[in-house]
């Protein structure tokens, strides 16, 4: 079974990829399940236009975006915009430990614009190449590079300033 092989190789990686996008553990767990279902259903039509790893990550990315859009719509209609705030989302999660975090790094990361944050996390934590990030997000490769170096610069300045 191909899905079994995929899960052996990428299960943890896919989880962390999703977790960084949706923040909360419970959401990441739900999105991971949907990702597997999509992978399972889409395998027959997988055309090898990209590597299977990139394809799986793209599905996980799209599923995460779908959840975030749904949450934004819900928060908007229920008049709870404060929930969209990054830090309040994180601290509401029982599986977030603020005390163990490198404060300066974390603070600088959450201050980044959403797009730069995503690019930086994919490059730094998941060690994805610029090509892979472009394939997953469907963003322009050059703007990804620019975004990554800008994010890196901002983080370095912030961390040095707080030391």
Q: Decide: is 83 part of the binding site for another protein (CB under 8 A).
A: no
Q: Which is nearer to another protein, 20 or 147 (CB)?
A: 20
- Terminal Cα-to-Cα distance of the chain (whole angstroms): 51
Q: Are 38 and 59 in contact (CB under 8 A)?
A: yes
4 lines the binding site for another protein (CB under 8 A): yes
Smallest gap from Cβ 141 to another protein, in A, equals 25
Of these, 18, 36, 59, 63, which contacts another protein (CB under 8 A)? Answer: 36
Q: Smaller CB distance to another protein: residue 7 or 50? A: 7
Return the biggest CA–CA distance within the chain: 53
Distance in angstroms (rounded) separating the CA atoms of residues 114 and 162: 22
User: Among 11, 12, 17, 10, which residue's Cα sits nearest to residue 121?
Assistant: 17
Q: Tell me whether residue 19 or residue 135 sits nearer to another protein (CB atom).
A: 19
Shortest reach from residue 111's CB to another protein, in Å = 14
The residue written with tokens 């799209």 in the block is 62
Residues 95-124 that bind another protein (CB under 8 A): 95-102, 105-106, 109
Structure tokens belonging to residue 140: 């322009």
Q: Which one of 26-34, 60-68, 76-84, 133-141 is the stretch in contact with another protein (CB under 8 A)?
A: 26-34
User: Distance between alpha carbon 113 and the CA centroid of its chain, in Å?
Assistant: 14
Neighbouring C-beta atoms of residue 47, cutoff 10 Å? 6
Tokens 């896919």 correspond to 14
Question: Per CB under 8 A, does 15 bind another protein?
Answer: yes
Which residues of the shown chain bind another protein in the complex (CB under 8 A)?
A: 1, 3-4, 7, 11-13, 15-16, 19-20, 25, 29, 32-33, 36-37, 40, 90, 95-102, 105-106, 109, 125
């Amino acid at each position: 079974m191909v899905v079994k092989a995929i899960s052996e190789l990428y299960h943890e990686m896919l989880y962390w990829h999703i977790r960084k996008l949706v923040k909360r553990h419970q959401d990441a767990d739900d999105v991971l399940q949907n990702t597997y279902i999509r992978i399972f259903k889409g395998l027959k039509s997988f055309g090898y236009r990209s590597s299977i790893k990139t394809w799986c990550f793209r599905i996980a990315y799209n599923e995460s975006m779908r959840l975030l859009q749904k949450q934004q719509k819900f928060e908007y209609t229920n008049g709870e915009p404060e929930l969209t705030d990054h830090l309040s989302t994180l601290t509401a999660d029982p599986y977030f430990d603020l005390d163990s975090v490198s404060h300066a790094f974390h603070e600088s990361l959450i201050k980044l614009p959403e797009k730069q944050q995503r690019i930086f996390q994919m490059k730094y934590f998941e060690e994805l190449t610029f090509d892979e990030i472009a394939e997953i997000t469907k963003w322009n490769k050059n703007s990804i590079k620019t975004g990554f170096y800008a994010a890196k610069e901002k983080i370095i300045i912030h961390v040095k300033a707080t030391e």
